[in-house]
A and B are shown apart, each in its own frame.
Chain A
Amino acid sequence: MKAVTAEHLVKTYDKGKVRALDNLSLDVEEGTVLGVLGPNGAGKTTTVRILATLLRPDSGAATVAGIDVIKHPDKVREVIGLSGQYAAVDEILTGYDNLVMFGKLYHLGNKNAVLRANELLERFSLTDAAKRPIKTYSGGMRRRLDLAASLIVRPKVLFLDEPTTGLDPRGRLDMWGVIRELVSDGTTLLLTTQYLEEADQLADEIAVIDTGKVIARGTSNDLKRQIGGEHLEVAVNQVDVARSMEIIEKIIGSKPKLEEGLNSISAPVSTGTSALIEVINGLTSAGINPLDVALKRPSLDDVFLALTGHKAEGE
């Protein structure tokens, strides 16, 4: 069953001059994670806002948990959780106060609102900071609290709009851990991101969007096949180039490319780091010391270059 459907959504701003969504369609299978990948201004946030009943599309239709978003927004609000790009919690109130307030607004009753607040604070490792105002929190802690606020009544469908934008690497990893845990509970998740790696890590399926349209759709492996996936890059001394090419070809099973001036050999790999280790072992046992080795993952720019012929254009 589909937990989310969107059909031919169109949304324009400034009296039709800006086409934020241009016939966008997508769907999410129940219990799975869809990563909506795209650059700034591609229409990710607009899509989420329409599905979360915050915005009405100019035309098109959408359902969440089988409920029509446009006809019954109040019913949709009962089954969704939303965590936006900015941590939408009250800065002056404490983490605890915020969660209790939202619990009451979900009509949990005072006692249950308190219980649920403590449970969520514990789960998101915020118990120590519970009684501090949000403005003293780090970026990562704010996002976790914001996420907690969207989980007060276990939502059937969760929307996360760029949950890690602006976080440092450590905060990002923490957030990924939290999201993975959620997903293992069976929550349906629609996640938007600018990072291919994030979509790769968290999503079962990825929809790439550009200028308000879905331009590619598939599993992360499907996409990588389209765009070439990971590349191994090895730089060696001039004298070792020919032999290195042979060794790498033998290990990878396909002919590597050589960038002449740089003595840099590159080859597509599918097994990631283990291919890297095999190649290093192969080269060193032949007495060749590589000058530089790297495993290059495709970036959002590579995806866009491969899919659209142009780079991802930010705003």
Chain B
Amino acid sequence: MSAIRDTAVITQRQLRLLTRVPEVLIFSTIQPVMFVLLFRYVFGGSINTGQPGGYVQLLMPGIFVQTVAFTLAGTASGLAEDMKKGLIDRFRSLPISQSALVVGRTLGDALLNVVVLTVMGLAGFLVGWRPSTGGAKIALGFIFLLFFGYALSWVGALVGLSAKDFRVVQNVSFLVTFPLTFLSNAFAPTTGMPKLLQYFAEWNPVSTMVAACRELFGVQNVFGATAGSYPSQHPLITSIFYIFLIMLVFVPLALRKYRKSAG
């Protein structure tokens, strides 16, 4: 019970940080909204999807997934900063649940994602995004996105707790997230890629997430698979599998790293 309370205190701390430094919230929403506008108007005109509603219908699921994937960097840099300032030492010397700090941080980042996704959804709506399925499926899509972001948050936790330097953390986070989000079906068809990259793109969890969201938001995934691989045929199941796999590997690794973090 007290573990839950401790975690809640840490999450509260993070939400309080957002009220103290509103810039964080503003920039975490402006950036994805900017991506929506850029992709919508720069690529949207030249990519013919052959779908009703045009490129923006395919784009939005892609940008949602990209945005929640960047949670990795947020969690990583937040924890790295706590390490640098010695805050982690203080938390670890307290008689609290030893996982509270990391769990609280990842939950705080998930709550931030709720806000960011809401703003992005509204921005998307303004530029023509119209999910064609019912409310339940749309809600399920967003829940999926939150869980995917949460799973990657734990990868970020491991990165943030392992790195000795704040800048290294940022570089590593970007090195992980950029290839993952661009070597995928998020923004353009994978069919134009070299064969090897096509395989990667099809098995890439970002692609399966994007495909799953497109399905849930009611748009045909014309950027997706050509090879007919399992992930491209069953994106929902594969995505659930990936989310569990990532958590199964990275939650214990990150917590172990936290307990051993010698600073």
Same complex origin of A and B: yes
Binding-face segment, B91-99, B156-164, B228-236: B91-99
Residues on A with beta carbons closer than 8 Å to the beta carbon of B21: 92
- Contacts of A45-87 to chain B: CB distance below 8 A: 49, 52-55, 74, 77-78, 80, 82, 84-87
Q: Determine whether the beta carbon of A82 is less than 8 Å from that of B85.
A: no
- Contacts of B1-28 to chain A: CB distance below 8 A: 2, 5-6, 9, 12-13, 16-17, 20-21
Shortest beta-carbon distance from A21 to chain B in Å: 13
Shortest beta-carbon distance from B224 to chain A in Å: 43
Question: Given A78-B95, A105-B94, does the pair A88, B262 have CB atoms closer than 8 Å?
Answer: no
Q: Determine whether the beta carbon of A93 is less than 8 Å from that of B86.
A: no
- Contacts of A81-108 to chain B: CB distance below 8 A: 82, 84-94, 97, 101-102, 104-107
Partner of B94, one of A85, A86, A87, A106: A106
Residues on A with beta carbons closer than 8 Å to the beta carbon of B5: 104, 107
Shortest beta-carbon distance from B88 to chain A in Å: 8
Q: Determine whether the beta carbon of B9 is less than 8 Å from that of A84.
A: no
B193 located at the interface, meaning its Cβ lies under 8 Å from any Cβ of chain A in the complex: no
- Contacts of B61-120 to chain A: CB distance below 8 A: 85-87, 89-96, 100
* Alpha-carbon distance between A54 and B89 when the two chains are bound, in angstroms: 7
Residues on B with beta carbons closer than 8 Å to the beta carbon of A88: 85-87, 89-90
A133 located at the interface, meaning its Cβ lies under 8 Å from any Cβ of chain B in the complex: yes
Partner of B85, one of A77, A78, A86, A133: A86
> Nearest residue in B to A134 (C-beta to C-beta)?
B85
Q: Determine whether the beta carbon of A149 is less than 8 Å from that of B95.
A: no
Q: Determine whether the beta carbon of A93 is less than 8 Å from that of B13.
A: yes
Query: Of residues B9, B92, B93, B262, which shows the largest number of chain A Cβ atoms within 10 Å of its Cβ?
Result: B93
Partner of A105, one of B9, B16, B20: B9
Tally A-B pairs: CB < 8 A: 70
The range of chain B's interface size is 20 to 34
Residues on B with beta carbons closer than 8 Å to the beta carbon of A107: 2, 5
Question: Given A92-B20, A106-B95, does the pair A101, B90 have CB atoms closer than 8 Å?
Answer: no
Residues on B with beta carbons closer than 8 Å to the beta carbon of A52: 93
Shortest beta-carbon distance from B245 to chain A in Å: 31
Partner of A101, one of B13, B262, B263: B13
Q: Determine whether the beta carbon of A105 is less than 8 Å from that of B96.
A: yes
User: For chain A, what secondary structure do more than half of its interface residues adopt (helix, strand, loop), or is it mixed?
Assistant: loop
- Contacts of B215-263 to chain A: CB distance below 8 A: 262-263
Q: Determine whether the beta carbon of A101 is less than 8 Å from that of B87.
A: no
Q: Determine whether the beta carbon of A80 is less than 8 Å from that of B93.
A: yes
Shortest beta-carbon distance from B191 to chain A in Å: 47
* Alpha-carbon distance between A49 and B90 when the two chains are bound, in angstroms: 11
Partner of A84, one of B6, B17, B20, B90: B90
Shortest beta-carbon distance from A35 to chain B in Å: 21
Q: A132-170, CB under 8 A of B: which get 1 and which 0?
A: 010000000000000001100000000000000000000
> Nearest residue in A to B98 (C-beta to C-beta)?
A74
Question: Given A77-B95, A101-B9, A105-B9, does the pair A92, B17 have CB atoms closer than 8 Å?
Answer: yes
Residues on A with beta carbons closer than 8 Å to the beta carbon of B6: 105
* Alpha-carbon distance between A102 and B100 when the two chains are bound, in angstroms: 13
Partner of B89, one of A74, A84, A92, A101: A84
Query: Of residues A86, A97, A101, A105, which shows the largest number of chain B Cβ atoms within 10 Å of its Cβ?
Result: A105
Residues on B with beta carbons closer than 8 Å to the beta carbon of A105: 6, 9, 91, 94, 96, 100
Q: Determine whether the beta carbon of B20 is less than 8 Å from that of A133.
A: yes
Residues on A with beta carbons closer than 8 Å to the beta carbon of B92: 53-54
* Alpha-carbon distance between A104 and B4 when the two chains are bound, in angstroms: 12
Residues on B with beta carbons closer than 8 Å to the beta carbon of A74: 95
Q: Determine whether the beta carbon of A54 is less than 8 Å from that of B94.
A: no
* Alpha-carbon distance between A105 and B12 when the two chains are bound, in angstroms: 12
Shortest beta-carbon distance from A141 to chain B in Å: 16
* Alpha-carbon distance between A55 and B95 when the two chains are bound, in angstroms: 15
Besides A52-B93, A77-B94, A105-B100, 18 other CB < 8 A contacts? A53-B92, A54-B93, A80-B93, A85-B86, A87-B86, A88-B89, A88-B90, A89-B90, A93-B16, A94-B20, A101-B12, A101-B13, A102-B90, A102-B94, A105-B91, A105-B94, A106-B95, A149-B90
On B, residues with C-beta under 8 Å from A are 2, 5-6, 9, 12-13, 16-17, 20-21, 85-87, 89-96, 100, 262-263
On A, residues with C-beta under 8 Å from B are 49, 52-55, 74, 77-78, 80, 82, 84-94, 97, 101-102, 104-107, 133, 149-150
A-B contact list, 5 entries, CB within 8 Å: A54-B263, A82-B90, A102-B90, A105-B6, A107-B2
